[in-house]
């Protein structure tokens, strides 16, 4: 078996009953969102294990080829051509291997899995979640967009359509414009997915109200 992608984890106090795999954004690392877990104030009985993978370091075209952690290269400011398809697919393969390992190691079924991400991580959450062979408990896409929109209808999994999706975005986001997030969410809905959209008066970040909404959503979908 190949080495798993590097990651950190935050474990529940008791038995692991559910799994959240959460991908960070460009230039960040798995450490970026790990401190959010206590702020979610999730009940111990939910038994949620959080796994935060680290993206590989690679040169980013639009940043003068500066090396940084990224799930894929960003080739252009044109959002239709923004995501490097080969990079998305390569990262998806590594992340899927991690997901499969975690489910097996913790003796969990797919209906106890949440695939989450922020910005580039949300791109990966959409990509992975919509292609799962078994319905997951949920997909959480924060301040992100859908890569390769034209390929979703032919690559999606019919089983994955049963997975609830929560897409969240800041109305003042200047990194990934809210309109792009909305258009992506609409494309996912049109493909047959059950998607809920929420926006907040914020920029490219996470706000307190949003954290409370995420907590309520996770509690709902992962409750026994």
Q: Which of 54, 204, 213, 215 is catalytic?
A: 204
What average pLDDT does range 122-137 have in this prediction? 97
For residue 36, give the 3-state DSSP assignment: helix
**pLDDT tens readout for residues 81-120:** 677 899 999 999 999 999 999 999 999 999 999 999 999 9
Cα–Cα distance for residue pair 67/217, rounded to 1 Å: 35
User: Out of 119, 127, 143, 184, which one is annotated catalytic?
Assistant: 119
Bridge pairing between strands 48-53 and 18-23: parallel
Separation CA 41–CA 57 (nearest Å): 32
Domain boundaries, the chain: 7-222
pLDDT tens per residue, range 37-46 = 999 999 999 9
Instruction: Give the per-residue pLDDT at 84.
Output: 86
Instruction: List the catalytic residue out of 28, 73, 84, 173.
Output: 173
What pLDDT was estimated at residue 2?
61
> What pLDDT, on the 0 to 100 scale, is given for residue 224?
65
Closest CA to 175 of 124, 123, 119, 125: 119
Higher pLDDT pick, 90 / 62? 90
**Closest listed residue to residue 98, CA positions, set 210, 213, 7:** 7
Q: How confident is the model at residue 78 (pLDDT cuts 50, 70, 90)?
A: low
What was the pLDDT predicted at 141?
98
Residue 54 bears catalytic tag: no
Q: What is the pLDDT of residue 76?
A: 73
Mean pLDDT calculated for residue range 63-72: 95
78 is catalytic: no
- What CATH number belongs to 7-222? 3.40.50.1820
Per the annotation, the verdict on 204 as an active-site residue is yes
Q: What's the whole-number average pLDDT of the chain? A: 95
Q: Which of 15-19, 49-53, 74-78, 133-137 has the lowest mean pLDDT?
A: 74-78
């Amino acid at each position: 078996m190949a080495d798993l992608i590097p990651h950190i984890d935050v474990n529940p106090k008791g038995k692991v009953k559910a799994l959240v795999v959460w991908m960070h954004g460009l230039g960040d690392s798995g450490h970026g969102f790990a401190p959010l877990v206590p702020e979610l104030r999730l009940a111990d009985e939910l038994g949620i294990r959080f796994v935060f993978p680290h993206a590989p370091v690679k040169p980013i075209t639009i940043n003068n080829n500066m090396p940084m952690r990224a799930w894929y290269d960003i080739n252009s400011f044109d959002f239709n051509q923004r995501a490097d398809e080969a990079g998305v697919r390569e990262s998806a393969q590594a992340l899927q291997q991690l997901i499969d390992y975690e489910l097996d190691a913790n003796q969990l079924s797919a209906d106890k899995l949440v695939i989450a991400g922020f910005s580039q991580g949300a791109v990966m959450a959409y990509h992975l979640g919509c292609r799962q062979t078994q319905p997951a408990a949920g997909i959480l896409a924060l301040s992100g967009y859908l890569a390769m929109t034209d390929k979703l209808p032919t690559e999606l999994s019919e089983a994955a359509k049963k997975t609830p999706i929560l897409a969240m975005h800041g109305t003042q986001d200047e990194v990934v414009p809210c309109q792009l997030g909305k258009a992506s969410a609409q494309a996912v809905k049109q493909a047959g997915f059950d998607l809920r959209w929420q926006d907040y008066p914020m920029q490219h970040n996470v706000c307190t109200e949003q954290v409370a909404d995420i907590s309520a959503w996770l509690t709902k979908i992962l409750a026994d």
